Structure 1
């Protein structure tokens, strides 16, 4: 099992352009008789430049009329056949949910293929971890019926993690815990409690999920074990495969919860739209871009975002350093779809990336262009300097006032798992790190002329969790956006903190 998977990954590293070219033609051939494929002439066998000229870049809102047809049960719209599964996407302040189609091809040739590859990499990097000698504790979301077609009990909407779990092959399901009836519970507080009690006596060797919610579960497991560290509960635990949020601010907290030097961590980039990348080197923040897993990539320079006819680059045209918005075409029927994430390349041989943030989740109220990657690094540096551990945070602008000398700035609302020794110093390190990482921010902070120092507000314990719970977004892959260009979200959280 391991050797064929590693050989596939080696071809991604050594023949990336050929792999992507083959994949694009396979996607076009498969979809040529769909309504979308006929409209855009996929039977012509388009080259990358022809695809970019003929097919528009689409946001979710622009693609939604086509997606809605699949939601309601039409066949052969964006991808051959009828789509039965839809991932309910989160990570936006927009009240309208996104419903991302998840086809059988996407499950098998994207999510499951990448999952098998990730296990092969973990076994190779950490042969002593014994990943397959115990069970994987997978913390996922929930599923519900497809309300767009109430007469079709086979169609469902839910978190992509729940869709993946529900459709796992028998061999993979046998290695996972807890059972589906617990893993897919919709009521999150009940789920955490029942999961913690169930997995207390399991032989857990690997964890998989979002760091924020895994912390809550591990703490409850420790409490049920009479305060014993997780390493005593699960002596064979060696690996955590994590995603959805940057791990840096949580690393020290996990070291406290799992005090074992043999514990290893691997990051994955598995979105509702596809399994896009994973960490393939130890102790690295770089992710190998997965090029033969049903996703064809284009990259939009950030200055093109929002333009009517944005310019995109192929894989051969990208450079190390600049930030690009991801544009993908997939075996789930998403065509030149702007996923909303931004990345930057750290290597071109092989192609490795770091997630920079969201196209809509950044701070640029004053031309400072702070992206999530900057924020995560600054919070991690401030924690390291002050002994703090962060549970959650968000930041938004402090707008210019009416006085002659008033200045703009950023307000950071932070919920600490362990408060800093010195709050003022935390803010100073946060500010200094942002200035070091981001020249635009540094220029605006020069002599405090445009931006004042960050305003740090400490949120009471449970603030972010209560905010998510009130909106029915507790658990799964739901999370509070790190950065916002408006104060709407921050002001809501401040009101939550005051109650």
Structure 2
């Protein structure tokens, strides 16, 4: 009975708010910006840029510079060291430590009480309301939600201050969950926040083996590892035999397409549902609110003001982002946010495209520094993951992880032409690697006209070179980088060969 009452209570407020987001997105963004500026007017940043003068959105865009993490870091470091009222009122005690996928260093993002309550927790309630509204017959809240996250440690800038902590954003959220949300999840915090990843997987698998798990929440790559271990411990053929009421997977951090077939194998039958979330260290941005569409509803009243930088300005020294009202369908934009954690006109590094303007729905397409464009082909992560999924379907393969980078070949006539080299770790390898590479190439040409033009008659781009790496290669490489587990993930596409060469060198150690 408790689960039905909780589902009803959450649905009343969240579903009404989500309806308002769909119908009044522009107005909500305007009010969000006004609230942010009003709250931060007495901070150092607010005084520097005249937030107390009640600037309009146009004034705000003219006064405040667009900042990368590196450009904002001097202020962020002061916050990390305990300074108050720098970017946001007060002194945050928690910091989300990102995997640093845009560059090699880790990033520390403030997580204020407002960011937790108005952002992460509000979005979590929204997702809970949607899930129970879309699938009421499954009684998801009558069982447990198995969430797989990271860990946290003392703030390295203030190691002697026990109230200041830093860690994976999932760990920051779990460590401060309200009591009612903690009652719904498993495993215990003691296990969920373990730092040693191999130990964590083993102990969690044994802990949840006999529980009534009905919902999964986490990153597909790591959830696969846990599900396989639970299945093995139970001596079962698939996870549905262990958890017969399992019905929903809330997934994020990586595109789900390449993993869809594997999850169908792990959880066979038509009863399983999948919904995507888009959250990051910087905030909770969007959710999949339609089960029959992979488009994500942009959350416009969660304490984040959005701007969007067109692709032709990603390298500009004077970027001019667009407000929400000026975006267009189908274009690639870099995401720029101003938040209730004190990030002002902050370049997240993610790229999106709009699939709907009424309401505002998006798809994640990649990252501003994670794409292949060594030869004018402009392949983004969305293209790569779609092509890998198509090649997997065509050849019966299942991809575990991958990375790709440019490579140069010498043609027979002595002229140089470009190509792409892919290091792929398969859970189920294709019987014919050449057929997989051909299918990958065909689908890339289908979804990307620039790539197709370069591939025409093999004149500018050679066919892709696919390298199979042994199982465990990427996991071992991540461990060597200190990035095993949690939301850490492999850089997918880079115009540098640094990661690819390191992965290939790692794979040689398995031989």
Where on the TM-score scale, by shorter chain, does this alignment land: which range? over 0.9
Q: CA offsets, 1:436-494, max 9 Å, x none? A: 11111111111111110000000101000000111211100001011001000000000
- Distance, in Å, in 1 between the alignment partners of 2:293 and 2:20 is 21
Per the alignment, residue 112 of structure 1 pairs with 121
In the superposition, the TM-score normalised over structure 2's length comes to 0.96
Gaps of at least 5 residues in structure 2 are 1-8
1:422 aligns with 2:437: no
Per the alignment, residue 239 of structure 1 pairs with 248
> Following TM superposition, by how much is the alpha carbon of 1:88 offset from its aligned partner in structure 2, in angstroms?
0.8
Equivalent residue in structure 1 for 2:468, among 444, 454, 458: 458
Per the alignment, residue 505 of structure 2 pairs with 495
- Distance, in Å, in 2 between the alignment partners of 1:305 and 1:95 is 20
Q: CA offsets, 1:420-441, max 9 Å, x none? A: 1321111111111111111111
1:68 aligns with 2:77: yes
SS at match of 2:361: strand
Checking the alignment, whether the CA contact within 8 Å between 1:79 and 1:331 is kept in structure 2 is: yes
Checking the alignment, whether the CA contact within 8 Å between 2:100 and 2:106 is kept in structure 1 is: no
Checking the alignment, whether the CA contact within 8 Å between 1:24 and 1:296 is kept in structure 2 is: yes
- Distance, in Å, in 2 between the alignment partners of 1:154 and 1:344 is 39
- Distance, in Å, in 1 between the alignment partners of 2:470 and 2:439 is 22
- Distance, in Å, in 2 between the alignment partners of 1:189 and 1:384 is 31
1:208 aligns with 2:217: yes
- Distance, in Å, in 2 between the alignment partners of 1:65 and 1:304 is 25
- Point out the more displaced range, 360-369 or 119-128: 119-128
Checking the alignment, whether the CA contact within 8 Å between 2:408 and 2:416 is kept in structure 1 is: no
> Following TM superposition, by how much is the alpha carbon of 1:93 offset from its aligned partner in structure 2, in angstroms?
6.2
Equivalent residue in structure 2 for 1:8, among 17, 24, 27: 17
- Distance, in Å, in 1 between the alignment partners of 2:434 and 2:366 is 27
SS at match of 1:399: strand
Checking the alignment, whether the CA contact within 8 Å between 2:102 and 2:369 is kept in structure 1 is: no
Per the alignment, residue 108 of structure 2 pairs with 99
1:344 aligns with 2:374: no
Per the alignment, residue 397 of structure 1 pairs with 406
Equivalent residue in structure 1 for 2:63, among 54, 62, 82: 54
Q: CA offsets, 1:136-183, max 9 Å, x none? A: 000000100001012211101100000000000000001110001100
Per the alignment, residue 307 of structure 1 pairs with 316
Gaps of at least 5 residues in structure 1 are none
> Following TM superposition, by how much is the alpha carbon of 1:406 offset from its aligned partner in structure 2, in angstroms?
3.1
Alignment of 1:240-389 (within 5 A): 240-389=249-398
- Point out the more displaced range, 122-131 or 8-17: 122-131
Equivalent residue in structure 2 for 1:81, among 90, 93, 102: 90
Per the alignment, residue 198 of structure 1 pairs with 207
- Distance, in Å, in 2 between the alignment partners of 1:82 and 1:459 is 46
1:20 aligns with 2:24: no
Per the alignment, residue 435 of structure 1 pairs with 445
Q: What's the Cα RMSD here?
A: 1.0
SS at match of 2:467: strand
SS at match of 1:408: strand
SS at match of 1:395: strand
Checking the alignment, whether the CA contact within 8 Å between 2:310 and 2:332 is kept in structure 1 is: yes
> Following TM superposition, by how much is the alpha carbon of 1:124 offset from its aligned partner in structure 2, in angstroms?
1.4
> Following TM superposition, by how much is the alpha carbon of 1:289 offset from its aligned partner in structure 2, in angstroms?
0.3
- Distance, in Å, in 2 between the alignment partners of 1:426 and 1:406 is 25
Per the alignment, residue 494 of structure 2 pairs with 484
Q: Aligned pair count?
A: 499
Q: 1:214 to 1:483 in 2, by over 3 A?
A: same
Checking the alignment, whether the CA contact within 8 Å between 2:100 and 2:107 is kept in structure 1 is: no
In the superposition, the TM-score normalised over structure 1's length comes to 0.99
- Distance, in Å, in 2 between the alignment partners of 1:79 and 1:363 is 37
